Amino acid sequence: MSIALTRSGFSIALSGFAVACCFLIGLQVSATTAAPSAGQTSLTINRTLKSDRMPLVPAITRNAVNGPVETNAPTATPGPKPLLLDGCEPMVSAIGQSPLAQIAGRCVS
């Protein structure tokens, strides 16, 4: 057996021992930080004014038998197309009529 083989085996064993020690120290630290301290008092939180923030379900609900619930979403009319300001170049080329062509990529004043 050569000396290099013995040194490498020793260094591997020493590394394994160091990792095991770090693991055990980590377990001890986590156990001590998780324990409550003796001088700590519990806080009382008043939750009586807290209410349900979800909207209430209407009394007339529909299911699979009598059809889905009908909602009337507001219809928005499309506004005017946004224009680029003077001195601004589009983010992409306007040749393909991409919606990104209406977003300013660079503005020079």
**What pLDDT does residue 68 have?**
66
**Predicted local confidence at residue 4, as pLDDT:** 55
C-alpha 57: how far from chain center: 29
Q: Which residues contact 100 (CB under 8 A, 6 or more apart)?
A: 90, 91, 92
pLDDT tens digits for 69-106? Answer: 666 776 777 777 778 888 888 888 878 778 888 888 88
Q: pLDDT tens across 34-44, in order?
A: 556 556 667 78
Q: What is residue 69's predicted lDDT score, i.e. its pLDDT?
A: 64
Smallest CA-to-CA distance from 91 within 78, 80, 67, 107 is with 107
pTM summary value: 0.28
The H or E element spanning position 16 is: helix 3-34
Are 75 and 54 in contact by the 8 Å Cβ rule? The answer is: no
Q: Cα(98)–Cα(87) distance, rounded to whole angstroms?
A: 20
Instruction: Out of 26-30, 47-51, 83-87, pick the least confident.
Output: 47-51
For residue 19, the model assigns a pLDDT of 93
